[in-house]
Amino acid sequence: MLTSLITRQSFFKRLHASKNKAYCRGSGDHNVFTHKHPFVTPQLLRCSFSTTVTSYNTMHPLDDSTVESFFIPGAKVFDRYFECPLDYENESSSPKLKVFARHLVPVDKVSSMKKMPFFLYLQGGPGFECALPSSGTAGWVKVAFEKGYQVLLLDQRGTGLSSQISAESLELSFKTDEEKANYLTHFRADSIVRDCETIRKKLTEGRSKDDEQRISLLGQSFGGFCITTYLSLFPQSIQHAYITGGVPPLVDTPDKVYRALYPRILKKNKLYYKKFPQDVTRVRQIHEYLSKNKVTLPNGGNLSVRRFLQLGIAFGGAGGYDSLHKIVQAGASDLDRLQKLSYRTLNMIQESQSWDTNIIYAILHEAIYCQADQSSRWSAERLLSEEPFATDFQWRLEDLKPDQPVYFTGETIYPFMFDDFAELRPLKRVAHLLAEKRWSQLYNTATLNKLDGPLTAGVSYFDDMYVDRELSEQTASEINGFQQWITNEYAHNGLRVDPERVLTYLIKLARGDEGYNR
């Protein structure tokens, strides 16, 4: 298939080799984020595949019998790939990406695919792919089917089967850190929603005016950030939009976000130690051991004190206190029995942290909050040096008081990670380049203020440790017609815990079937 041919790394390497002399590394006054991709030209993209291009472009994607398909209970699943430009600002000359979407259709409605409306799910992150649901007869997919939709599960660009980014893939495709950094600038929400719009147009091509051409959206966490960008860029393309735990703060840098979230993380720590008071001593024991010993994880990463304290990210989801307690209890037991941490415990810790396997989650995390020509400049690290956070989250053994609990951090990204995480180490300089990058606009407040057409609703969780509820309330007030549900019934992962109820209620709320719920 064309999309699989033109996006392989070998193709980029071949092109780079043929055009190497035309590419120069930036000098001191050269902005590494504005250079184009001179070794890829439209002619090169077209020359070898002209016959295939013609054939591929004339076939409606829903008519392609070569698409892999299979069944799960209640649904037929199609694995679809779409060709999307890497750089939408230079679409005609841009190299292409392969973007994957899993397409679920009720088993008794496969013949109606060209008429049924689409319901697209945007995963949380940034940097995570969609999981294949085990069934179409349960969860929010069941709700979408009952409302007459067919479902699209998108692997956002750079994740899963959508031209996945890793340290290896970047090393294979690019020679310099500047090239890698420039490539990564095309993997934020603005590019993701343009992929969604490209896919929407392709799948609804040829529909009559009586058939729905707009798309409905469900976004969890960062997926809600993407929906808000979609509403800003293409409001006329959206029928309904539902956001769960992801109404984004309309900020220009992450600073305001972390000033709001660090106190919430502190509160979660205190609740954790209230539930497991003996863990105060256990954590101090593990903390002291890691402060005095170099510990290597199974994949070669470093288990430093600060990396261990990042396990507090679990506090934001239901069951998070219990999962961390299990690790802490095992670690303390290891030290009592073995005077070191066992392989089993080290493996548990490694598998609890996703930054090695999903590098976008680390390297572009702070960038999701940047716009208006602003940069992040390692916001979480800078703010952690300010009071009261410097004292509250003190991690240096020599500076801790004898009876002071050691507090965990949360969903916060720090420079040390690019030394401690094995898969992030090769990208250390790339991360520093991106931290200084000045980013373009993600949201259009004027468009959101005047939004007319899409029915929109979202749930914000009262003590959400990942997406500050008060900042979400401010954003909700800027989106015309947005119906916001605020609840303490769930943690950040409410859609996972109770998917049918959460989506059903949001649909009713957006439609006006339920009273405005605060």
Helices marked H in 1-138: 2-5, 9-19, 42-47, 50-58
**8 A C-beta contact, residue 149 and residue 50:** no
The yes-or-no answer on residue 195 being catalytic is no
Which one from 376, 464, 468, 472 is the annotated catalytic residue? 464
Residue 276 neighbours by CB distance under 10 Å: 17
The yes-or-no answer on residue 492 being catalytic is yes
By three-state DSSP, how is residue 311 classified? helix
Which one from 221, 232, 379, 460 is the annotated catalytic residue? 221
Q: Which residues make Cβ contacts (< 8 Å) with residue 216, sequence separation at least 6?
A: 117, 118, 119, 120, 149, 238, 239, 240, 241, 242
Tokens 């590494």, residue? 32
Q: Which amino acid is at 291?
A: S
Tokens of 324: 């961390």
By three-state DSSP, how is residue 349 classified? helix
Tokens 């009071």, residue? 387
Query: E strands along 290-449, which residues?
Result: none
Kindly provide the b/e burial profile for residues 56-95, where b requires at least 16 CB atoms within 10 angstroms of the residue's own CB.
eeeeebbeeeeeeeeebebbbbbebbbbbbbbeeeeeebb
Q: Which residues make Cβ contacts (< 8 Å) with residue 146, sequence separation at least 6?
A: none
Tokens 């709001």, residue? 260
Q: Which amino acid is at 105?
A: V
DSSP per-residue letters across 241-261: EEEES------SSSHHHHHHH
CA distances to 34, 218, 251, 253, 254 from 375, in Å: 15, 29, 12, 7, 9
By three-state DSSP, how is residue 75 classified? strand
By three-state DSSP, how is residue 413 classified? coil
Residue 31 neighbours by CB distance under 10 Å: 11
Tokens 């001179």, residue? 38
The yes-or-no answer on residue 103 being catalytic is no
Report the alpha-carbon distance of residue 43 to residue 363 in Å, rounded: 33
Peptide bond preceding 415 in cis form (omega within 30 of 0): no
Catalytic residues: 221, 464, 492
